[in-house]
Chains A and B, each alone.
Chain A
Amino acid sequence: MELLVAIIIGSLTAVGTYLMLRMRTFPVIVGLSLLAYAVNFFLFASGRLMLNSPPLLYVDSPHTDALPQALTLTAIVIAFGMTAVAVIMALTAYLNGGTDKLDMENEAPEVTPEERGQ
């Protein structure tokens, strides 16, 4: 089972990293989501892998560690929210700039008339 989980985490991370490096918003966001899945699996496994064991500390039978499950839940929620923000921002940038490329030219910042106090 360890091998299976390790392969899953490894492939998700590899694919996620590859997509992150594509430098266009859609693949990058998909890549980030895959990385988030990978990290959730990884976090889950950090409390050791146990099958058919209750997440309780005070039982005599073998038990699994409940804390990583709570951490994973937190990480899922945060990753979900952050992905939503990234999607909205990427969409806004695409609609404003007409491109989904992530890299930028070295330009001086724009100054609107409003920002000049006029």
Chain B
Amino acid sequence: MTHFMVLPLIITAVMAPALLLFRDQLAIQRTLSLVTTAVLAVICAMLMVQAATGEITVYKMGNWDAPFGIVMVMDRLSALMITLTALLALGVLIYSIGTKWDARGAHFHPLYQFQLFGLFGAMMTGDIFNLFVFFEVLLIASYGLMVHGGGRLRTQAGVQYIIYNLAGSTLFVFSLATIYAVFGTLNMADMAAKAATLPPEDAALVRTAGAMVLLVFAVKGALLPLHFWLPNTYTHAPAPVAALFAIMTKVGAYAVLRVFTLIFGPSLALTGTLFSDLIMPAALITAVVGMVGVMAGGSLARVAAFAAVGSMGTLFIAIAPFTEGATVAALYYLIHSTLAAGALLLVIDMVQARRGTCALELRAPIVQSGLVAALFFAAAIATTGLPPLSGFIGKLFVLDALRDHPLSVWVWGVVLITSLVAVVGFAQAGSVVFWKAHAVKADATPAAPATGVALAGVGGLLALIVLMTVAAGPLTDYLTDTAAQLYAPEGYIGAVLGGGS
């Protein structure tokens, strides 16, 4: 069983170049890609079941002992994240095959597997330099996917996205160098063990290093004022790619949770509540700007992009206190907002394919208007956090967990008011697209209706949202254990550094 935990990495790393061999045989590529992603989902779920027992599995690359070699660590949080990634990826892949998105440019499927490789790696690694390397892997795959299908605006948005992330990566290396200069190690468990023994005169360096890493993760997580890459990227990326990118912002959130509970944890005297105090105001502003953007989007894609920014704000509000209760809420909301953003972006693509544009201007009613409207309605309810779907439960958790926070008035005010603003924004957008459209006569030839496969992709994501609403109890039990594991880093440190294998 020891090699089992790196299977998600091995499979994706092997399948990505293997799929390249079938570059001209789309049918084979599709089958292989689907089977691979489905198998990955099963493996990740098995790893999650294994992690649920509380066991922290460590895989030493090349059998070099930590902290000298690179380790992969599978604890509850990592297992949860890779499972979420695999499920989202499966739904999105089904959709992109059903809508032939994958045929609109070269190498969709190999890049998709490389993207998953980078994502899994970033979520599993126990070494912070290796985290940087996996960030680059997932970024370089995402550059290719972002401009899949080409087009003037998409390429321009792609350049913006690349430049922004290159700057972010450079900052990441700067912060890694600072970290190495202070800690003398890059293994996260080793850093955590050494953090407590650092002399007080290193406080300035430690705080600087921590703040720089936080900035890098804030770029990834689209935390204001570093969110500028997101709206254009989500708006112009091919819809399935944008839907897959829903997990990319969560990688930032994951990395914040990992690094700022393990290394720069809340109990570390040198940093104290510095990071919590930095994240909270930024998160509040992110939520406000995101949801105001929903009102002023101008096109459905941009509405969804800003909704994604806003949901990251809510997520970081729940992360910021770095307490167990708030982290449970954050994790629940993280899963929810990933699935909701994915589903919403796919539904918007269905609208766009039928209308010819997703700009919020009056057009004739679309084909299958009722069905698409119902899907949009469901995705919008989930995104804005109205009952009965999991967004409501998620926001309720967040509000409840932050009841005793010093800024609780602000948190409650922002979360509630931004939710209302988002509801208005989505209602406005939906009524223009689906309702007022009936006043316009149809002229152009209607677009082809969706295939069952495409609907299965969207439906699958929405079904997962319903599932996490119904199964909120068992899921929260798992998340409570996850948070407990995060705030007791001795287990993680012991598993990685503890003698022998």
Name the A residues within 8 Å of B104 (CB-CB).
114-115
Contact A67 B180 (CB under 8 A): yes
Give which listed residue, A29, A68, A74, A118, contacts B448 with CB less than 8 A.
Answer: A118
Q: Does B50 contact A (CB under 8 A)?
A: no
Q: Give Cα A96–Cα B157 distance, bound, in whole angstroms.
A: 12
Asked if B357 and A108 make an inter-chain contact with CB atoms under 8 angstroms apart, the answer reads: yes
Rounded to whole Å, the gap between the CB of A67 and the closest CB of chain B is: 7
Give Cα A46–Cα B128 distance, bound, in whole angstroms: 15
Closest residue of A by beta carbon distance from B155: A93
- Across-interface contacts of A90 in B (CB, < 8 A): 159
Q: In the complex the two chains form, is A93's CB within 8 Å of B133's CB?
A: no
Confirm or deny: B407 has a beta carbon within 8 angstroms of a beta carbon on chain A. no
Q: Is there an interface contact between B447 and A89, defined as CB atoms closer than 8 Å?
A: no
Choice from B163, B178, B359, B447 contacting A116 with Cβ under 8 Å = B447
Count B interface residues, CB 8 Å.
53
Q: What separation, in Å, do the CA atoms of A46 and B143 have in the docked complex?
A: 30
**Residues of A in contact, count (CB < 8 Å):** 47
Contact B356 A108 (CB under 8 A): no
- Complex: how many Å from CA A93 to CA B169? 22
Q: What residues of B have a CB within 8 angstroms of the CB of A86 in the complex? A: 159, 162-163, 166
Least distance between A116 CB and chain B CB atoms (Å):
5
Provided the pairs A39-B174, A108-B299, A116-B447 are in contact, do residues A92 and B155 lie with their beta carbons within 8 angstroms?
Answer: yes
CB proximity of B327 to chain A, nearest CB, Å? 31
Q: Counting chain A CB atoms within 10 Å of each CB, which of B147, B152, B299 scores highest?
A: B152
By secondary structure, the A interface counts as: helix
* CB < 8 Å neighbour of B153 from A28, A39, A47, A109: A109
Contact status of A111 and B353, CB under 8 A, knowing A28-B163, A89-B147, A96-B152: yes
Q: A83 to B166, alpha carbons, bound, how many Å? A: 8
Collect the chain A residues with CB atoms within 8 Å of residue B170's CB: 32, 35-36, 39, 79
Q: Is A51 an interface residue (CB 8 A)?
A: no
**Interface readout for A1-27 with B: 1 if CB under 8 Å, 0 if not?**
000000000000000000010000100
Is B173 an interface residue, CB under 8 A from the partner?
yes
Contact flags (1/0) for A63-102 with B, using CB distance below 8 Å?
0000110010011001101110110011011001100001
Q: Can you show 24 pairs from A to B with CB atoms below 8 A apart? A: A32-B166, A36-B170, A43-B177, A46-B177, A71-B176, A71-B177, A71-B186, A81-B140, A82-B140, A82-B162, A83-B166, A85-B140, A85-B143, A89-B159, A102-B163, A104-B153, A108-B302, A109-B153, A109-B358, A110-B154, A115-B104, A116-B356, A117-B447, A118-B447
